[in-house]
Amino acid sequence: MDNTIVATQSHEAEEHAHVALPQHRHHFETEQQQREAGTFGMWLFLLTEIMFFGGLFFAYLLYRNWYPAAFVGASNQLSIPLGAFNTAVLIGSGFFMAMGVWAAEVKKKGLLVLFLAVTTLLGLVFLGVKYVEYHEKWEKHHIPGEHFDVSEFINPQAYGLKEEPMSPDMAQKTQVFFSLYFAMTGMHALHMIIGICLLFWLTWRAHRGDFSSGYVAPIENFGLYWHFVDIVWIFLFPLLYLINRHPV
Amino acid sequence: MSATHTILNLPDQSTAALPKKNYINAEDGILSWLLTGDHKRIAILYLISITFFFFIGGAFAGLIRLELLTPQPDLVASDTYNKLFSMHGIVMIFLFLVPSVPATLGNFLVPIMLGAKDLAFPKINLLSWYLYWIGGLFTLAALVLGGVDTGWTFTTPLSTHYLNTHVVTAATGVFIIGFSSIFTGLNFIVTVHRMRAPGMTWFRMPLFIWSNYAASILMVLGTPVLAITLVLVALERTIGIGVFDPNKGGDPLLFQHLFWFYSHPAVYIMILPGMGVISEVISTFSRKRVFGYTAVAFSSVAIALFGFFVWAHHMFIMGVSNYSALVFSLLTMLVAVPSAIKIFNWAFTLQKGSITFETPMLYAFGFMGLFTIGGMTGVFLGALGMDIHLTETYFIVAHFHFVMVGGMLMAFLAGIHFWWPKMTGRMYSESLSKLAAITTFIGFNLTFLPQFILGYLGMPRRYHSYPAEFQVLNVLSTAGATVLGVGYMLPLLYLAWSLKYGAIAGNNPWQATGLEWQIQSPPLTENFIETPIVDHEAYDYEWLAHKTEHEVTTVG
């Protein structure tokens, strides 16, 4: 019985909100319905993103099983310090995004703008480091294709092989690793770039005061997207940089 | 079949008029259409667009059949022929079949059937139409610039290494259209979960909603995999990464796995919404609740679920292991079960029903017969030994045209004829439309039945010359295609005619039970004057009779 009363009351409150908030779309009965629909839609969109990256992860799984030595040998060419630094940067960025959602919910406009700006900044730092890493691959001729150079790949000890240059046949397979490396980190970076563009837009809107009156759905939903992009990296970092690098 | 045996009930034409306010005349000007958020207007935009691409794809089909009239290559050169069937496939699948029912009838009806004012995300709905057109323009660009000849499957390494045609342009087009389909699916799922009217429980929803919901799940989960696959093909072709390239350690078979992981479920994306149309039509014209409602509803979900686990049956001859082929063969047989559940339940719905033979019903009968043949031959092809013999022959071509054209296109036309009075407020010519339905059925069978025989005798698909002894069957097929073409042109003409001269249809010309039939035709922009409260199950004809009686007494 109590629930019914509460529900009626909150319904009345929404009716009131219905008049007050201009962002309420006409085709939703209540503000809450609109908010739930938005969040649900965002989760579904993230599901499609999981399937999108899923194709790449599936390819990684397959080829890693086929060419473990080539994958470890190629993985040895990546810089763990840079990767770890970027992981920290991205987790930090995710933290400030979460703080941003909080700031929007408690209607602190200044803090929201600040947190969104820090989130953007850390995102840009991540991309900068990624650029340094890509540039190094370019210099070492580790971009798959005609100019691919296999001379630097060394047999990984992890598989009981002698630590000597990889056989040409196996060394060629490192191209699959780098194909996937660039496809996966490239797709991830593309999602970061799209995210940063959206962040600029949201920061501007926050500065204008769009999210100061309790309307936080865009911030929340973007937060979900940003955390998703973080989580993809949390999988990419160990898969590409860390697994089996050291002798067992 | 005479006038006494019809449930068609039009208002008195001397006094009837279209409602003064409706979604069509709510706003004026081309921009009010191009910037609309109204799901019904977007449905009309989609309907015009897919009709345009249907006739483009149809023109390719016409040229293909014309070339195959004679055994020797005479109308077009070999590589032109390759481009013809590739463009036919790409246009028909991605620009017509995938969006056909969901983006037109689904967009129009899903919110109304649920008692909602609109889809959950009207702007995303409009965005999906724009993405459709951007993708469509890329595809047309690939065509105008010189075509693409990979087949609609973009098979590697053919597409990545050996062809000098506009593969990347076409792949970009398909990639973008994919997102339009994802957004449609996403919108439907959120709408079904969050926008149902009070009292509209899951098991009171019309079966059209169930089947579109199931198709939406496939769109949302499958299409992204196609997207990433096409990205990899494009990257491989442009900058030379090696995910599918054996020289670099890649495996072309991986492409097949990823591609068919989407493209087999895509078959169900195409057919499931059509099955939803058939459920509505069969029920309405036999005046009975769909037999085994729950089974039909769950069979849609089951098809969606099983649909994800059968993809490798496209790859039996491509070097997959015997064991995986065995498993996939078995799973393929399983997917026939929910399809058969539907067919049998429709048959039982007809049993002892008060059947009438209006145009939508004729198309629905066409669907049932042709889809059954298409489905059964699918079981042949799912059987390993038969598949080795029949794959890559005209048997396959006949099989999937029976499902896609005989099934889906018939269902689409059934739906268009069924809901046309609701969408436009006007009725088309009954005799002409019945003629079109019969012409289509005859033309279709004449076109594709000979192809089963051709395939069984060993004529391979995708070749433009063939041994002279196959000519008789090919001539039959081409003749059938001509009849079929006439069958498709007819609706275009009389439906366009009806827009201005058709009889006023009234709210519920078929005396159907769906919520969409209880409102004016064409509906208001917001669909309902007040949010409906649903207190009955779908297809409850007693409720309808009671309601009608009640209305009469009130007015009288």
**What is the 3 state secondary structure string of A135-146?**
HHHHHCCCCCCC
Q: Is A13's pLDDT higher than 50? A: no
Cβ <8 Å between B122 and A183: no
C-alpha atoms less than 13 angstroms from C-alpha of B336 in its C-beta half-sphere:
19
CB atoms within 10 A of CB A60: 22
How far is it, in rounded angstroms, from Cα B352 to Cα B369? 19
| Residues forming beta bridges with residue A213, ordered by sequence position | none
Q: What is the CA radius of gyration of chain B?
A: 23
Residues of A in contact with B181 (CB under 8 A): none
In the block, which residue shows the tokens 């509803």?
Answer: B297
Q: How far are the Cα atoms of A181, B261, B449 from residue B232, in angstroms, in the given order?
A: 12, 15, 38
Question: Cα–chain-centroid distance for residue A246?
Answer: 27
CB atoms within 10 A of CB A5: 9
Average pLDDT over every residue of A74-90 = 94
- How many angstroms away from the CA of B207 is the closest CA of chain A? 23
CB atoms within 10 A of CB B431: 9
φ, ψ dihedrals at B503, nearest 5°: -65, 150
- How many angstroms away from the CA of B28 is the closest CA of chain A? 20
φ, ψ dihedrals at A154, nearest 5°: -120, 140
Cβ <8 Å between A144 and B117: no
Residue-level pLDDT at B552: 56
- In a domain, residue A154? The reply is yes
b/e burial code for range A114-128 (CB count within 10 A of at least 16 → b): bbbbbbbbbbbbbee
Are the beta carbons of B409 and B445 closer than 8 angstroms? no
A199 and chain B in contact, CB less than 8 A:
no
- In a domain, residue A222? The reply is yes
Burial of B385 (C-beta count, 10 Å sphere; 0-12/13-18/19+):
exposed
Best interface-test mutation with A: which of B190, B213, B233, B533 has the largest number of A CBs within 10 A? B190
- Our separate counts of H helices and E strands in chain B read 17, 2
Q: Is A22's pLDDT higher than 70? A: no
Cβ <8 Å between A41 and B227: no
Residue-level pLDDT at B1: 43
Best interface-test mutation with B: which of A65, A175, A182, A228 has the largest number of B CBs within 10 A? A175
A62 and chain B in contact, CB less than 8 A:
yes
| Structure-token pair, residue A195 | 């995210």
Specify the range with the lowest mean pLDDT, choosing from A10-19, A129-138, B118-127, B198-207: A10-19
CB atoms within 10 A of CB B417: 25
Cβ <8 Å between A52 and B224: yes
Cβ <8 Å between A49 and B224: yes
How far is it, in rounded angstroms, from Cα B168 to Cα B97? 22
How far is it, in rounded angstroms, from Cα B214 to Cα B269? 8
A78 and chain B in contact, CB less than 8 A:
no
Residue-level pLDDT at A156: 78
Residue-level pLDDT at B553: 47
- How many angstroms away from the CA of A87 is the closest CA of chain B? 24
> Smallest Cβ distance to A29: which of B182, B247, B531?
B531
Best interface-test mutation with B: which of A31, A51, A58 has the largest number of B CBs within 10 A? A51
Per DSSP, the residues of B98-129 read TTIIIIIIIHHHHHHHHT-SS-S-HHHHHHHH
CB pairs under 8 A between A and B: 119
Cβ <8 Å between B122 and A53: no
- In a domain, residue A7? The reply is no
The backbone region for A167, taken as left when phi is positive above 0, alpha when psi lies in -120 to 50, beta otherwise, is: beta
Cβ <8 Å between B242 and A40: no
Residues of A in contact with B258 (CB under 8 A): 55, 58-59
Nearest by Cα to B409 from B517, B340, B299, B491: B491
Our count of domains for chain A comes to 1
Per DSSP, the residues of B27-77 read S-SHHHHHT---HHHHHHHHHHHHHHHHHHHHHHHHHHHHHTTSSS--SS-
- In a domain, residue A41? The reply is no
Nearest by Cα to A241 from A160, A177, A179: A177
Mean pLDDT by 10 residues, chain B (556 residues): 70 89 92 94 97 96 96 92 96 96 97 95 96 97 93 92 92 97 97 95 96 97 96 93 90 95 95 97 96 96 94 92 93 93 96 94 97 94 92 95 96 97 95 96 97 96 94 97 96 96 93 94 92 92 87 48
How far is it, in rounded angstroms, from Cα B529 to Cα B444? 43
SS (H, E, C) B272-316: HHHHHHHHHHHHHHHCCCCCCHHHHHHHHHHHHHHHCCCHHHHCC
Please report which confidence band the pLDDT of residue A4 belongs to, taking 50, 70 and 90 as the band edges.
Answer: very low
Residue-level pLDDT at B4: 52
Packing angle, helices B471-501 and B39-67, rounded to 10: 150
b/e burial code for range B97-133 (CB count within 10 A of at least 16 → b): bbbbbbbbbbbbbbbbbbbbbbbbbbebbbebbebbb
Q: Is A145's pLDDT higher than 70? A: yes
How far is it, in rounded angstroms, from Cα B214 to Cα B110? 13
Please report which confidence band the pLDDT of residue A164 belongs to, taking 50, 70 and 90 as the band edges.
Answer: confident
Q: For B459, which DSSP code? A: P
Question: For residue B157, is the peptide bond before it cis, meaning its omega torsion is within 30 degrees of 0?
Answer: yes
Please report which confidence band the pLDDT of residue A15 belongs to, taking 50, 70 and 90 as the band edges.
Answer: very low
Are the beta carbons of B184 and B121 closer than 8 angstroms? no
A46 and chain B in contact, CB less than 8 A:
no
- In a domain, residue A11? The reply is no
| Structure-token pair, residue B60 | 């390719």
Which residues lie closer than 8 Å to B499 by C-beta, 6 or more apart?
B424, B426
Domain of residue A172, residue span: 52-242
Residues of B in contact with A173 (CB under 8 A): 248-249
- In a domain, residue A247? The reply is no
**CATH code at A77?**
1.20.120.80
Q: What is the CA radius of gyration of chain A?
A: 23
How far is it, in rounded angstroms, from Cα B545 to Cα B211? 27
Residues of B in contact with A51 (CB under 8 A): 221-222, 224-225
Nearest by Cα to B232 from A124, A84, A176: A176
Cβ <8 Å between B531 and A179: no
In the block, which residue shows the tokens 């003749």?
Answer: B479
Cβ <8 Å between A41 and B121: yes
- In a domain, residue A186? The reply is yes
Cβ <8 Å between B120 and A49: no
Are the beta carbons of B49 and B135 closer than 8 angstroms? no
| Structure-token pair, residue B512 | 């159907």
CB atoms within 10 A of CB A139: 9
Nearest by Cα to B268 from B317, B305, B237: B305
| Structure-token pair, residue B452 | 């089963």
Mean pLDDT, rounded, of chain A:
87
- In a domain, residue A123? The reply is yes
Question: Cα–chain-centroid distance for residue B456?
Answer: 27
CB atoms within 10 A of CB A247: 10
Specify the range with the lowest mean pLDDT, choosing from A129-143, A155-169, B33-47: A155-169
Cβ <8 Å between A48 and B254: no
- pTM of structure: 0.93
- How many angstroms away from the CA of B514 is the closest CA of chain A? 20
Q: Which domains does chain B have, with CATH numbers?
A: 34-555 (1.20.210.10)
Residue B323 one-letter amino acid:
Y
Residue-level pLDDT at A21: 59
Residue B67 one-letter amino acid:
E
φ, ψ dihedrals at B393, nearest 5°: -115, 180
Nearest by Cα to B299 from B375, B393, B396, B412: B375
Average pLDDT over every residue of A208-232 = 94
- Indicate the SS3 state at residue A154: strand
Residue B469 one-letter amino acid:
E
> Smallest Cβ distance to A183: which of B195, B220, B241?
B241
Cβ <8 Å between A66 and B220: no
Cβ <8 Å between A33 and B189: no
Residue B167 one-letter amino acid:
V
Residues of A in contact with B243 (CB under 8 A): 59, 176, 179-180, 183
How far is it, in rounded angstroms, from Cα B535 to Cα B10? 27
Cβ <8 Å between B249 and A172: yes
Name the A residues in 110-149 with CB < 8 Å from any B CB: 143-146, 148
Are the beta carbons of B104 and B47 closer than 8 angstroms? yes
Best interface-test mutation with B: which of A46, A172, A176 has the largest number of B CBs within 10 A? A176
Residues of B in contact with A172 (CB under 8 A): 247-249
**What ipTM was predicted for this assembly?**
0.91
